[in-house]
């Protein structure tokens, strides 16, 4: 994947600059699709779209000191010792959810903010590696575990607007899915926020043999043609209690090839 190779070579300062020059998704359908797919990863309608809503996640440069810290927090603490694989966004609520104190946000809705701009709200989950040696009550598909539920929305960015070409980002927030009465780590994740924007990809539709196309068509065998879009999201993660946007951790999400 050329996009991942390019992002992996960039330093944190360059990644932040790129983020500031990217735009938020124009609508939820730009990054979350395959709403007939359930949280167990099955293709319920047998239309070949079973993985469309999955994103592979990759940690990017956060400096020589903080990169190992970010890796430890992501895989050892946030992942409970399981490797973080990425995220999944749902247009419709997953059939099963992680234990939370709030479940009313699991239905995708459309609201209006103070700037009279539609804000799309839905639910997503993080993907982690899983093996049979670690029993779990969370949703498991094959060798993947779906955990750490979040609400997502498109809203005004917390990053300084004077430095950015866009005023909005895709937000992932965990607070409503973290109990106030469980563990101290749950309080830690309440302050976790991700801001993401779309990295523009070159669309070489004229070259049918180019594997780097941002979109391609497949046929599911039933005469239905599905449009496969490649989406790259550049993310900036931060904790509201430890510097917020002044202490960013870059990562990226790449939609899976299905």
Q: Residues 127-158: pLDDT tens digits?
A: 999 865 555 545 555 678 999 999 999 999 99
Confidence band (pLDDT; 50, 70, 90) for 222?
very low
Query: If you average pLDDT over residues 216-227, what whole number do you get?
Result: 41
Token code pair at residue 51: 């993985």
- Quick one: average pLDDT of 1-12? 92
CB 170 within 8 A of CB 152: yes
Most confident of 39-43, 158-162, 225-229, 249-253: 249-253
Global pTM? Answer: 0.74
> What is the structure's pLDDT at 239?
93
Smallest CA-to-CA distance from 3 within 225, 202, 157 is with 202
Using the predicted structure, report yes or no on whether residue 224 has a pLDDT greater than 60.
no
Does residue 233 carry a pLDDT above 90?
Answer: yes
Cα–Cα dist 98/215, whole Å: 33
| Residue ranges with strand state E in the chain | 54-59, 84-90, 109-112, 118-129, 139-141, 144-156, 168-173, 192-198, 215-219, 225-229, 232-239, 249-255
**How large is the average pLDDT for residues 192-212?**
69
Closest C-alpha among 30, 44, 37, 194 to residue 126: 194
In this prediction, residue 32 carries a pLDDT of 74
The more confident residue out of 92 and 171 is 171
Mean pLDDT of the chain: 74
- Residue 218's pLDDT is 42
Q: Residue 23 has what pLDDT? A: 92
pLDDT of 94 > 80? The answer is no
Task: List Cβ<8 Å contacts ≥24 apart for 63-66.
Answer: 63/12, 66/249
- Kindly calculate the radius of gyration of the chain based on its CA atoms and give it in whole angstroms: 18
Q: What pLDDT does residue 129 have?
A: 93
Q: How confident is the model at residue 197 (pLDDT cuts 50, 70, 90)?
A: very high
Whether residue 175 has pLDDT greater than 80? yes
Alpha-carbon distance 108 to 92, whole Å?
6
């Amino acid at each position: 994947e050329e996009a991942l190779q390019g992002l992996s070579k960039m330093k944190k300062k360059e990644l932040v600059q790129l983020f500031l020059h990217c735009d938020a998704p124009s609508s939820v359908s730009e990054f979350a699709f395959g709403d007939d797919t359930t949280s167990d990863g099955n293709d319920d309608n047998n239309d070949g779209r079973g993985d469309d809503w999955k994103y592979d996640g990759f940690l990017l440069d956060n400096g020589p000191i903080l990169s190992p810290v970010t890796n430890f927090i992501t895989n050892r603490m946030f992942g409970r010792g399981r490797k973080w694989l990425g995220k999944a966004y749902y247009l419709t609520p997953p059939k099963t959810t992680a234990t939370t104190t709030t479940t009313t946000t699991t239905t995708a809705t459309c609201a209006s903010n103070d700037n009279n701009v539609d804000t799309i709200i839905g639910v997503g989950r993080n993907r982690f590696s899983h093996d049979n040696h670690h029993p779990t009550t969370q949703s498991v598909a094959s060798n993947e575990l779906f955990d750490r539920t979040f609400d997502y929305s498109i809203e005004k960015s917390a990053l300084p607007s004077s430095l950015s070409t866009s005023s909005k980002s895709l937000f992932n927030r965990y607070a409503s899915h973290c109990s106030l009465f469980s563990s101290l780590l749950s309080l830690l994740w309440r302050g976790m926020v991700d801001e993401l924007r779309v990295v523009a990809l070159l669309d070489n539709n004229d070259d049918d043999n180019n594997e780097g196309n941002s979109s391609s068509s497949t046929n599911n065998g039933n005469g239905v043609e599905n449009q496969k879009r490649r989406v790259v999201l550049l993310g900036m993660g931060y904790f509201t209690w430890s510097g917020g946007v002044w202490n960013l951790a870059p990562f990226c999400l790449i939609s899976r090839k299905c």
